[in-house]
Amino acid sequence: MRATEFLLATEKETPADAVVVSHQLMMRSGMIRKLAAGLYTWMPLGLRTLRKVEAIVREEMNRAGAQEVLMPAVQPAELWEETGRWFQYGGELLRVKDRHNRDFCIGPTHEEVITDLARNNISSYKQLPLNLYQIQTKFRDETRPRFGVMRSREFIMKDAYSFHSTEESLEETYNRMHTAYSNVFTRLGLDFRPVWADTGSIGGAKSHEFHVLASSGEDDIAFSSESDYAANVELAEALAPAGERPAATAALETVSTPDVTSIDDVAAFLKTDAANVLKAIVVRGEHTTEKAEGEPAPVVLFIRGDHELNEIKAEKIEGVASPLQFASDAEIEAIGGVTGFVGPQGLSAKVYVDRAAAHMADFVCGANSKDAHLTGFNWERDCALPEVADLRNVVAGDPSPCGKGTLEIKRGIEVGHIFQLGTKYSAAMNATVLDENGKARTMIMGCYGIGISRVVAAAIEQNHDDNGIVWPDAIAPFTVGIVPMGYQKSEAVTKATDELYEELKAAGFDVYLDDRDKKTSPGVKFADMELIGIPHRVVVSDRSLEAGNVEYAARRDGEKHPIAIGDIISHLK
Ligand code: ATP
Ligand code: MG
Ligand code: MG
Ligand code: MG
């Protein structure tokens, strides 16, 4: 591609709403443009990378035996009524009416549609197992779309759904998808971890998420230092007894405590009353307003047990100007009587109100040395508590966990999620096959998602420097960039450049030739090429050509090397 023919839309200024580096760089490099909140156009540059991610995912899905389909984005409400999700899904589901006043939604996910497809087209156990996938646009009316395409409202997902006649068959496909996902993220050049996860509104029994590790991630991932164990801290919420979670969310919302903004402030508060130390643990909080990157994560206090919340009065806390606000007694009672909390100003508390979650937080924070002094957590003693042991079993999915090592918490970006759904959808929608005895049996299902567009942002979070994006070769929009010095002026440079451009293309490279004239200075060309992250740069100049060379530099280290012009292709391979 020649720069003079390409819609390059690089920008110097960073848009004010872009707080994470991938969003900033995607805007500045001109990969995407915003249409409205959570809605983005993929520009030619960005689309090249998106398509490469798609291609890798498609290859690995095909290799794992899945077959591609393409389902409509618009889905009839009737199917969602059959599973009950029309009533449960809430505001994320964008509901629309057609001209006949019939209800539809713009699909946030496709379990209903695929289950309908399966019940109408699969009749015998002999047709199973079957794994169908698509790469398609989803819409979720996210409460807070943010971070560009990382959490947008419209986004591209690869979603796959498998159908089985036995649990063993589901397990086999699930494991195969686990492997396929690991292959995908390895090929994408990402530092990732599969973790045990909550099944959320999709439902089902067993589930793993794939997280790209990055400080801007929205999830906390707990790792063991001495085993492969890793889990999403969010999983703790899922262990709350049914019915408690919605009440908790409704009862407890944002509280404001202007001067408590760091973990040290909380520690100071706890130390004002020794009794508080043992009764409180610290779990994570969540921003309600966009904050500058690098700001310490807010904290939430969780005060357990039969503690008399009324006893904790603002006066006890030195230096806090306005009173802490706690949930009222009635609110506490409504959620099972276990919690009170504080959260820093402008930040809302994500509150865990059940015992399982409290233990999970103990489990997590207790092993996190920074917070351990707040919890009074003792690994040997507290892990022997039956609830904690049970919880750990559930979390680790292993009936004989060692309990050794320490847990580390890192931030992760959820890029993939696999679920064993069981019969949740097939039973509700009566999707059956005839078994070997001619008896109708409900199909068993799995489902498997990858956030294709989110992956692009996540890759940038892990691959950038002060000058811009540093693409891994596999998903770079262009793999080689040529900057000729004196193109169309020096005959030798023009000839060598044109030949090199054609040869590189013929050899299968995606080449970007910056053929802009001298009104665009070499400095600007280099800066653009660094910003858009082309992994390999070749500079053609009269001076290097005199020695039979071109100048090569890799984006990652920027070091310049002379390379004989005839050797450049083999050098790049
Ligand atoms: P999150 O926890 O980030 O809201 P999710 O658990 O709701 O994601 P899933 O239902 O598991 O998402 O969907 C599969 C994948 O789709 C996710 O792993 C993620 O990579 C991607 N995804 C989900 N929501 C968004 C979004 N709003 N923007 C971009 N990608 C998304
Ligand atoms: Mg979500
Ligand atoms: Mg999630
Ligand atoms: Mg998920």
What pLDDT, in 10s, does the model give residues 162-192? 999 999 999 999 999 999 999 999 999 999 9
Which atom, in ligand 1's list, is nearest to the CA of 109?
A: 10
pLDDT at position 365, please?
33
Residues with CB under 6 A from ligand 1: 109, 140, 142, 151-152, 155, 157, 200, 202, 414-417, 449, 451, 453-454
pLDDT of residue 119 exceeding 70, the answer is yes
Ligand 1 mean position to 224 CA, how many Å? 25
Tell me the mean pLDDT in the region 291-300.
34
Distance (Å, whole) CA 446 – CA 419: 6
Of 94-103, 116-125, 323-332, 428-437, which range is least confident?
A: 323-332
For residues 33 and 405, the model is more confident at 33
Of 157, 181, 206, 411, the one to substitute when testing ligand 1's pocket (max ligand atoms within 8 A of C-beta) is 157
Distance (Å, whole) CA 485 – CA 544: 10
Which atom, in ligand 1's list, is nearest to the CA of 159?
A: 14
pLDDT at position 415, please?
98
For residues 127 and 247, the model is more confident at 127
Residue with CA at minimum distance from ligand 1 atom 14: 449
Chain centroid to Cα 473, Å, comes to 21
SS3 167: helix
Reported as a pLDDT band with limits 50, 70 and 90, residue 507 is very high
Tell me which range, 112-121, 196-205, 362-371, is most confidently predicted by mean pLDDT: 112-121
pLDDT of residue 97 exceeding 90, the answer is yes
pLDDT at position 6, please?
96
Cβ neighbours of residue 56 under 8 Å, at least 6 residues apart?
Answer: 184, 187, 188, 474, 475
pLDDT of residue 385 exceeding 60, the answer is no
Reported as a pLDDT band with limits 50, 70 and 90, residue 406 is low
Which atom, in ligand 1's list, is nearest to the CA of 455?
A: 20
Which atom, in ligand 1's list, is nearest to the CA of 157?
A: 16
Ligand 1 mean position to 461 CA, how many Å? 17
Tell me the mean pLDDT in the region 408-423.
89
pLDDT digits (tens, 9 = 90+) for 521-533: 999 999 999 999 9
pLDDT at position 259, please?
44
- Looking at all shown ligands, the one closest to residue 455's CA atom is 1
Ligand 3 mean position to 196 CA, how many Å? 11
Reported as a pLDDT band with limits 50, 70 and 90, residue 294 is very low
For residues 446 and 247, the model is more confident at 446
For residues 297 and 41, the model is more confident at 41
Strands 94-97, 103-106: pairing kind: antiparallel
CB distance 212 to 333 below 8 Å: no
Of 417, 418, 452, the one to substitute when testing ligand 1's pocket (max ligand atoms within 8 A of C-beta) is 417
Distance (Å, whole) CA 222 – CA 214: 14
pTM: 0.76
Of 351-355, 360-364, 561-565, which range is least confident?
A: 351-355
Distance (Å, whole) CA 198 – CA 213: 18
Which atom, in ligand 1's list, is nearest to the CA of 450?
A: 15
Tell me the mean pLDDT in the region 228-242.
50
Greatest distance between any 2 Cα atoms in the chain? 85
pLDDT of residue 349 exceeding 70, the answer is no
pLDDT of residue 265 exceeding 90, the answer is no
Which atom, in ligand 1's list, is nearest to the CA of 145?
A: 27
pLDDT of residue 542 exceeding 50, the answer is yes
pLDDT of residue 338 exceeding 60, the answer is no
Tell me the mean pLDDT in the region 42-47.
98
Q: 15-41 in b/e burial notation, b at 16+ Cβ within 10 A?
A: eeebbbbbbbbbbbbbbbebeeebebe
pLDDT of residue 233 exceeding 60, the answer is no
pLDDT at position 332, please?
35
How many CA within 13 A on the CB side of residue 216? 23
- Looking at all shown ligands, the one closest to residue 457's CA atom is 1
Tell me the mean pLDDT in the region 272-279.
33
Tell me the mean pLDDT in the region 314-343.
32
For residues 88 and 243, the model is more confident at 88
pLDDT at position 88, please?
86
Residue with CA at minimum distance from ligand 1 atom 11: 417
Ligand 1 mean position to 50 CA, how many Å? 16
Ligand 3 mean position to 561 CA, how many Å? 45
Ligand 3 mean position to 104 CA, how many Å? 24
pLDDT at position 196, please?
77
Which atom, in ligand 1's list, is nearest to the CA of 108?
A: 10
Pick from 39, 48, 35: which is nearest to 6 by CA?
48
Ligand 1 mean position to 201 CA, how many Å? 12
Ligand 1 mean position to 198 CA, how many Å? 13
Of 26-35, 61-70, 286-295, which range is least confident?
A: 286-295
Tell me the mean pLDDT in the region 28-42.
97
Q: How many C-beta atoms lie closer than 10 Å to residue 436's C-beta?
A: 10
Residue with CA at minimum distance from ligand 1 atom 13: 449
Mean pLDDT of the residues in the chain: 76
pLDDT at position 410, please?
76
* Percent of the chain's residues with pLDDT above 70: 66
Of 240-244, 478-482, 496-500, which range is least confident?
A: 240-244
Ligand 1 mean position to 149 CA, how many Å? 11
pLDDT of residue 56 exceeding 90, the answer is yes
pLDDT at position 304, please?
32
Pick from 394, 348, 79: which is nearest to 231 by CA?
394
Distance (Å, whole) CA 413 – CA 335: 30
pLDDT of residue 200 exceeding 60, the answer is no
Sign of CA dihedral 283, 344, 350, 269: positive
pLDDT of residue 342 exceeding 90, the answer is no
pLDDT digits (tens, 9 = 90+) for 434-489: 999 999 999 999 999 999 999 999 999 999 999 999 999 999 999 999 999 999 99
Q: What are the start-end ranges of the H helices in 98-229? A: 111-121, 167-187
Ligand 2 mean position to 413 CA, how many Å? 12
Residue with CA at minimum distance from ligand 1 atom 24: 151
- Looking at all shown ligands, the one closest to residue 150's CA atom is 1
Ligand 1 mean position to 419 CA, how many Å? 13
Reported as a pLDDT band with limits 50, 70 and 90, residue 559 is very high
pLDDT of residue 433 exceeding 70, the answer is yes
Which atom, in ligand 1's list, is nearest to the CA of 413?
A: 3
Residue with CA at minimum distance from ligand 1 atom 2: 414
pLDDT at position 225, please?
60
pLDDT of residue 256 exceeding 60, the answer is no
Cβ neighbours of residue 324 under 8 Å, at least 6 residues apart?
Answer: 255, 257, 260, 312, 314, 317, 342
Ligand 1 mean position to 413 CA, how many Å? 9
Reported as a pLDDT band with limits 50, 70 and 90, residue 234 is low
Distance spanning both ends of the chain, measured CA to CA: 19
Q: Which residues are placed with Cβ below 5 angstroms of ligand 3, an ion?
A: 414
